[in-house]
Chain A
Amino acid sequence: MTQSLAEKYRPENLEAYDPIGGRHPLVIGGETLHDITELVCRPIERKTPKAWWAFFLFSASLLGIFGMSIAYLFWEGTGIWGLNNPVGWGWAIVNFVFWVGIGHAGTLISAILYLFRQKWRTGINRSAEAMTIFAVMCALTFPGIHVGRVWAAYWMFPIPNQMGMWPNFRSPLLWDVFAVSIYGTVSVLFWFTGLIPDLATMRDRSKTKIKRIAYGIFALGWRGSNRHWQHYEVAYMILAGLSTPLVLSVHTIVSFDFAVSQLPGWHTTIFPPYFVAGAIFSGFAMVLTLMIVTRKIFGLENIVTIRHFENMSKIILVTGSIVGYAYGMEFFISWYSGNPYETFTFVNRAFGPYAWAYWIMISCNVITPQIFWFKKARTSIPILFVASIFVNIGMWFERFVITVTSLSRDFLPSSWDYFSPTIWDISCLVGSFGLFFTMFSLFVRFLPQVAMAEVKAVLPEADPHYHPGDAHHAEAEGAH
């Protein structure tokens, strides 16, 4: 793989490199500006494929199950779930943390990689951001429905009311309400800002009046004016700058839900970084799962290249190893602290009644990603797909292990109990996937799933110093 500079810039090898940057091009296949527009818009403009209907109806049925489960939950109360008396927090919180975590990769791609000038992000950031928004929607459902008396859910917000009652701002649960709802709002703002130029493209290409008006309303009259781009780019940069600490704070605050309590296994300072790493880990796995499928179906292989997957699998390897380190460190500290309750909790996690869940978690989260040390695995679509699913399973189990093992065996052995889910726990989890996939399939059908304006901007011909047939440019630059 290693090439000497002289070899790299030899005329016969030059074609593989971007003549301006002297690097491998981000978009392959020699696509031009117009090709990018065509590639991204065609799947939206052509007749609805049958496969889309099949997937959409399947997802919508799962969403229907979600709706019915929630309706029954409202009618009957949280007793329909498998909660018992020490395990008062069950699948609702597990699912909540799982979905919030999924969302974090989208913001990492759209904001943090933007600040780090990782230009390869342009191929995947739009659908990753969409994934974030839908994941946050799924996440927000659970705290909304799990409160028991749903008609009192507005008590979570500081709204003046006839009881003169206000929320307790010292509670991490209230911080969570603010963190996750603001995270959702800012994600939507960021996503919509990115969409404006592409909606204008859809408007200008639309053949029917209805489409023209529908896309036109949301395009806000965008016409690519440089006097607009100037402010737009600053806004985009600022949103990325604001989203970066925001996304780190959100999962930190989610981890406070646990860490601020007094329960062994929860009351640890490692939680914030450990949760953030886990969130990015699971989110990238979900991006991989989705992109592997959509890039194939919509023929976006030249924009979402194997290099994108390789980069993402490297991030999965890093964050997965951080998570593995955190698991080990938790064990070490439980022994090193000399606290018998802490020690018991961790031995109980690995060898107690929930050992099966613990070892699923370890094998999916710690062992599976190690395969990405090998380039063969990082560039093999089947391996990437299977590993990404394993990671998602593992990360769901991580939240299950943290939540349930600590609760089911607390300080007093006489109050111990084993938690098992009911059919309604399962239907709520499966149903939330219905919500997620329904939203995602609507997204890929009606909106440009690749940020066209951003991808165009990273093509070599987008550079004002590029002149067609200017391959010697790179040669000259390489010689310096």
Chain B
Amino acid sequence: MAAKNPKPHGLLAQFDTASAIYSACEKIRDDGFKYWDAFTPFPVHGLDKAMGLKRSMLPWIVLVMGLTGASGGMLLQWWVSVKAYPLVISGKPLFSWQAYVPITFELGVLFGALGAVFGMFHLCRIPQHYSPLFKSERFESVTDDKFFIAIEAEDPKFHPEETAQYLESLGATHVEMVEQ
């Protein structure tokens, strides 16, 4: 439909080594681009800093979830043993909390782990099976051995030709326009 005048998603630049993309990211960060991202086959050490990303807030999600799991676990055991089904076993008090520690701990771990995985999904906005970048055939090697930087057309500093030249000057081995 938009074959004649396709709206650009952005420019996709290929880099061949981890060190090349690292220094390119530092440059783009310092030049004040906003809507851009780096794509790598594995987490490149220190790239978060080179891109100027803020710390992930995932640990807080996990902390809240873990505490919810643990306190919910203790509450469940208290409610069952004291309220719903009070049975005296081996002459122990109904709320013998020491015996409830293992399950409290296990439920804390379970909720924490669920929080870590699904919290990560949420922060990454995955599953998201569509991305304009998937239209690029070259981009398939991002999960193999190539590194990419995409600067989106939305970025205030974006210019189709100038930004392409800029990316090439940073050491990109190939730059292409990706349509939306």
What CA separation (Å) do A231 and B51 show in the bound complex? Answer: 14
A164 within 8 A of B: yes
Contacting residues, chain A, for B25 (C-beta < 8 A): 226
Stretch at the interface among A31-39, A58-66, A355-363, A417-425: A31-39
Contacting residues, chain A, for B140 (C-beta < 8 A): 204-205
Structural contact, B96 and A186, CB atoms closer than 8 A: no
The count of residues in chain A whose C-beta lies closer than 8 Å to any C-beta of chain B is 69
A185 within 8 A of B: yes
Q: Can you name 10 extra interface pairs (CB under 8 A) apart from A178-B106, A186-B109, A232-B120?
A: A158-B76, A165-B85, A168-B89, A189-B117, A223-B143, A231-B124, A232-B124, A239-B116, A464-B23, A464-B47
Decide yes or no: A37 and B19 within 8 Å by CB, A193-B120, A223-B139, A232-B43 being known contacts: no
Structural contact, A170 and B142, CB atoms closer than 8 A: no
What CA separation (Å) do A468 and B16 show in the bound complex? Answer: 11
The answer, among A170, A221, A224, A227, for a CB contact under 8 Å with B99, is A170
The answer, among B43, B58, B76, B124, for a CB contact under 8 Å with A238, is B58
Most chain A CB within 10 A, of B23, B47, B85, B143, is at B143
Could you tell me the distance in whole angstroms from the C-beta of B178 to the nearest C-beta in chain A? Answer: 12
Q: Please list 5 pairs of residues, one from A and one from B, whose beta carbons are closer than 8 Å in the complex, sorted by A's number.
A: A178-B103, A205-B144, A223-B39, A223-B142, A249-B105
The answer, among B18, B44, B107, B129, for a CB contact under 8 Å with A221, is B129
A binding-site residues for B, Cβ under 8 Å: 32-34, 37, 158, 164-170, 172, 174-175, 178-179, 182, 185-186, 189-190, 192-193, 197, 200-201, 203-205, 216-217, 220-235, 238-239, 242-243, 245-246, 249, 253, 256, 453-454, 456-457, 461-468
Interface residues of B in 142-175 (CB under 8 A from A): 142-145
The answer, among A190, A222, A226, for a CB contact under 8 Å with B38, is A226
The answer, among B76, B109, B144, for a CB contact under 8 Å with A182, is B109
B binding-site residues for A, Cβ under 8 Å: 17-19, 21-23, 25, 37-48, 50-51, 53, 56, 58-59, 62, 66, 76-77, 80-81, 84-85, 87, 89-90, 92, 96, 99-100, 102-103, 105-107, 109-110, 112-114, 116-117, 119-121, 123-124, 126-131, 133-134, 139-145
Main secondary structure of the interface of A (DSSP, over half): helix
Closest A-B pairs by Cβ, 10 of them: A464-B22, A33-B145, A235-B120, A220-B127, A201-B143, A166-B85, A457-B42, A170-B99, A204-B140, A34-B145
Contacting residues, chain A, for B89 (C-beta < 8 A): 168, 170
Contacting residues, chain B, for A223 (C-beta < 8 A): 39, 131, 133-134, 139, 142-143
What CA separation (Å) do A454 and B43 show in the bound complex? Answer: 8
